[in-house]
Amino acid sequence: MIPVQGFDGHKVAVLGLGRSGLATAAALRAGGAEPLCWDDSPEGRARAEEAGFAIHDLTRQTAFDGVAALIVSPGIPHLYPKPNPVIAAAMAAGIPVDNDIGLFFRSWATREFDNFDTTPRTICVTGSNGKSTTTALIHHILQEAGRPTQMAGNIGRGVLDIEPAEDGEVVVLELSSYQTDLARALTPDIAVFTNLSPDHLDRHAGMGGYFAAKRRLFAEGGPDRAVIGVDEPEGVYLANQIAMGREDDRLIRVSSARKLGDWGWSVFARKGFLSEWRKGRQLASIDLREITGLPGAHNHQNACAAYAATRALGIAPRMIEEAFHSFAGLPHRSQTLAEKAGVRWVNDSKATNTDSAAKALDAFRNIRWIAGGLGKEGGVASLAGHLEHVRKAYFIGHSARDFALELAPLEHEICETMEAAVAACMRDAEAGDTVLLAPAAASFDQYPNFEKRGEHFAQLVDALPG
């Protein structure tokens, strides 16, 4: 646990008592503060009481009397589409509002750092797609290189739940726009921007607000080194704002679409090969094509970003390449589950929108595609240009028939359930085929979340013969 600094002897309100909220309350208490906890749900309040925290009704008129700050869980809106009433009341009363990310950065460094031979570092990863894979891959490379490391944030543990730093440790944090938007302190040593595509637009009042939330990671703290994906206009703009000129190697540009050899420092992937260039010459190259944990151009972009971040720490290219080969990938993200009778079974249940589904469809050949669920606004017609390698689709869930109509004349079968879809794929698939679960839809019609959907698919695949 990271004891929160700066609130010793003060009352600090905590709104939202999920994983990060309870970890925040514990870290505040460890730092000498008195956490006053509130959640709109009785279940959340009960969890806090069981953990020994005081429940303090933050909806009361005098709730913020004597309170030094309000700490908010990331899922609670503070501005758009409209502020949560408790947050609005705190702001009206002049109470500083922060989140656990802001507390982490004000509390991570301690006087113990003066006794270390190597100062601990933080790497923060943000963007729309690939954040989790990039974060996990950086963490894996560090582990394989023998560096002490912890991973937290939007993946794994809450940031305040990790252990205090060791000598030379590197903490790798995945940060969502919800987390970067509100944090009052953001001071990573290395900051990574993967890419940008529309998401959470209601929470940020459009693409401009969404990008602005991501940009804060680079603008507020000024990282020592920035790794920027430049395959979208926003990344190009962000890189331009950071660099003082073409040769400025505090910035590492990353692309999975084109060569970037003319900059101070760049890492790019073309035709399945990763290349590192610095000051006009190539320093390293890695063949990504046979790395099973990183299939497809979208994962090659993740590999480039992770490579750049770990090279910035001085890790050798050969060691990074070895770590790539031992990386198993994350569950539910282009995860190869099995190969049976020459058929590859891939779980990409995390592909809940058309953008991520398109990347999965572009990554494989001879696809038997399982898709559907609770369709999202805008439908799936945009996937029509990504069906070249789909032999047949097997649609499930609430939007199965809508998908079939939108993607006609694609050969398809309405299966309704995951069990029926897996059975149909088992019946039809031939050696050399890939059965790909990439739903392009939310899971809530049949499953509580995408993880449960992917787990069900994995269980059905595991039970298949061969």
Would you mind telling me the total number of residues written for the chain in this entry? Answer: 466
Contact (CB, 8 A) for 215 and 208: no
Q: Report whether 310 belongs to an annotated binding site.
A: no
User: Nearest-CA neighbor of 459 among 349, 357, 361?
Assistant: 349
Q: Report whether 128 belongs to an annotated binding site.
A: yes
Q: Report whether 127 belongs to an annotated binding site.
A: yes
370: which DSSP letter? E
Q: Report whether 158 belongs to an annotated binding site.
A: no
Contact (CB, 8 A) for 386 and 437: no
Provide the edge-to-edge strand list for the sheet that holds 34-38: 54-55, 34-38, 11-15, 67-72, 97-98
Q: How far apart are CA 454 and CA 466, in angstroms?
A: 20
Q: 265-270 and 251-255: which strand pairing? A: parallel
Contact (CB, 8 A) for 183 and 102: yes
Q: Report whether 129 belongs to an annotated binding site.
A: yes
Q: Report whether 132 belongs to an annotated binding site.
A: yes
In this structure, the number of other CB atoms found within 10 A of the CB of residue 283 comes to 13
Strands (E), 44-147: 54-55, 67-72, 97-98, 121-126
Q: 343-347 and 434-437: which strand pairing? A: parallel
Q: Report whether 376 belongs to an annotated binding site.
A: no
- Which residue's structure tokens are 């006794």? 115
The binding site for ATP comprises 127-133
The binding site comprises 127-133
